[in-house]
Amino acid sequence: MSRYISFRDFDWVLIGFVLVICGLGVLEIHSATAHTKFAGADRRQLYWIAGGLVGMFLVSLMNYHVLIERVHWMYIVAIASLMVVLIFGQKYLGARRWVKLPGGNHFQPSEWVKLILILAVAKYFADLQQRELSWSDFIKAGAIVGVPMLMVLAQPDLGTALTYLPIAVMGLFIGGVSWKQGLTVALLGGLAVGMVFFTPKVHILKTYQRQRLTSFLQPDADPQGSGYQLTQSLIAVGSGGLWGGKGSQTHGAFLPIPQTDFIFAAFSEEHGFVGALGVLLLYFIVLMRLTQNAQTAPDRAGTFLVMGVVAVLTFHILVNVGMVLGKMPVTGIPLPLMSYGGSSVLFMFLALGMVMNVRMRRFVN
């Protein structure tokens, strides 16, 4: 294991595209929050990005093997931090998701739990040498992801909890799940989701969660309530047209809090189909570049790690953009790299740091 690593091996192309997306995000945050009580969010977002870049470089310096070997400790810390949130967390809008840090900042541990889960799943599947997965592998991988998932669900934060799922799915898929096993699990999962939704006696989902999850099917049913955001988002995107418009939905505050989860709607309104498609293309390039990095990874662990990041990022984009377009339920999942929010930005850059970590070591040993 050589230690000749160089920043020349950093994926500058990837960082370039990522920063372009971040820049568009900052511009849109500026546009959406100017003259509102959120004014200045664009500047704070820049600080988070700068901090994220520093974090990315720091993470890339530590050999990912070292991280993976110590992942069980990190896993324990992650579970502990989720416990802390559940017990001492700040209650905001009916959910305990945030821990108040001494500096006056708030931190959402459920974000960086994602990083640890990526590492943990990578380690689990890297350690498996056989091609065929046994049912116990399923259960173990499921448990690794499932325990923190249930804890986040209890906050309650359904959206973030759901983002843990693709990490496990991706691990299982490239870890060599057989079609038969995959189908069986998918069927069982579908059955479970169906039970949660259609048995009112089961109180796993809170009423507002069920409303948010189902309102996308019928946004007009309750235009002032949970369907309101969705309706306004559809109007914002639709009125953008081919080339974009003045953005009255965003600037008239019809689209609530457009700088976070609905930033893609705000962007689509101002820049139209052409602009929005451009952003999707940028994300697609980033994802393709990431999978390419996964292919050239020096070992199984590296591949799993990068593909974990790909899974989370893809899932976020699918659910967020799908939500904005009315194709997915409103779950409160931010659009990575563009949405305003420190935790989300930090997570993305730390995750990219791990990808860089893997890439820089592709020619070693």
Partner 1 sequence: MFGRDEKISPIRLTAVQYVILAIFLFLAYGLWRLQVSQSDMYATLAEQNRIRNVPILAPRGKIFDRNGRPIVDNYPSFTALLLRDSSRDLNADAGQIAEGLHLDPKDVRDKIRHFASMPQYRPIYLKEDITPDEEAFIEAHRNELPELDTIMAYRRLYPRKGFLAHLIGYVGEVSEDMLNQPQWEFNNPGDVVGKSGVELQYNQILMGKNGSRQVQVNSHGQEIGAPLDEKPAEPGKPLKLTIDIDLQIAAEEAIEGKNGAIVAMDPHTGEILAMVSRPAFDPNDFAVKVSHAQWAALVNDPDHPLLNKAIQAQLAPGSTFKVLMATAGWQEGIAQTLTVHCNGGAEFYGRRFGCWVKSGHGDVDLTKAIYQSCDVFFYTLANKLGIGRIAKYATDFGLGQKTGIDLPQEVAGVMPSEEWKMRNFRQKWFAGETISVGIGQGAVAITPVQLMRAVAAISMDGRMVVPHVADPTGLPAGYLEVNHLSDVKSIPIDPDGWNLITDAMSRVLLPEGTAPSAHVPGIDIAGKTGSAQVVSLALRAKHANDEALNQNGWFVGFTPRRNPDIVVCVLFEGGEHGKLAARLATQVIKAYVDKQRQQPTKLAGADKTVEIGALWTSPNAENPAEEKLQAGRFVLNVSKKLPPLATAAPGLQ
Footprint of partner 1 on this chain (CB under 8 A)?
A: 65, 126-127, 129, 170, 173-174, 176, 224, 232, 234-242, 245, 248-249, 251-254, 256, 268, 272-273, 276-277, 280, 283-284, 287-288, 291, 294-295, 298-301, 303-304, 307, 310, 314, 317-318, 321-322, 325-327
- Total residue count of the chain as it appears in this document: 365
Q: With b meaning 16 or more CB within 10 Å and e meaning fewer, what string describes 146-181?
A: bebbebbbebbbbbbbbbbbbbbbbbbebbebeeeb
d(CA 313, CA 17) in angstroms, rounded, equals 14
Decide: residue 80, CB within 10 A, 0-12 exposed, 13-18 middle, 19+ buried. exposed
- Cβ nearer to partner 1, comparing 95 with 321: 321
Q: Which is nearer to partner 1, 74 or 313 (CB)?
A: 313
| Nearest distance in Å: CB 288, partner 1 | 7
User: Of 97 and 123, which has the nearer Cβ to partner 1?
Assistant: 123
CA 211 and chain centroid, separation: 22
For partner 1, which is the closer residue by CB, 179 or 198?
179
Q: Which is nearer to partner 1, 46 or 318 (CB)?
A: 318
Return the number of other C-beta atoms located less than 10 Å from residue 348's C-beta. Answer: 28
Minimum CB separation of residue 138 from partner 1 in Å reads 17
Give whichever of 276 and 330 is closer to partner 1, judged by the CB atom.
276
Question: In the chain, how long is the greatest CA-to-CA distance?
Answer: 62
Give SS3 for 262. coil
End-to-end CA distance of the chain: 5
H or E element in which residue 90 lies? strand 90-92
Q: CB neighbours of 344 closer than 8 A, spacing ≥ 6?
A: 111, 334, 336
Q: How far is the CB of 129 from partner 1 (least distance, A)?
A: 6
Provide, rounded to whole angstroms, the least separation between the CB of residue 174 and partner 1.
5
If the CB atoms of residues 82 and 324 are measured against partner 1, the closer one turns out to be 324
Say whether 3 sits in a helix, a strand or coil. Answer: coil
Looking at beta carbons only, is 57 or 254 nearer to partner 1? Answer: 254
Least distance CB 170 / partner 1 (angstroms): 7
Contact 240, 273 (CB under 8 A): yes
Alpha-carbon distance of 302 to 283, in angstroms, equals 21
- In which element (H, E) is residue 95 found? strand 95-100
Q: Measured from the CB of residue 295, what is the shortest distance to partner 1 in angstroms?
A: 6
Residue number, 44 or 300, with CB nearest to partner 1: 300
Q: What angle do CA 166, 16, 261 make, to 5 degrees?
A: 45
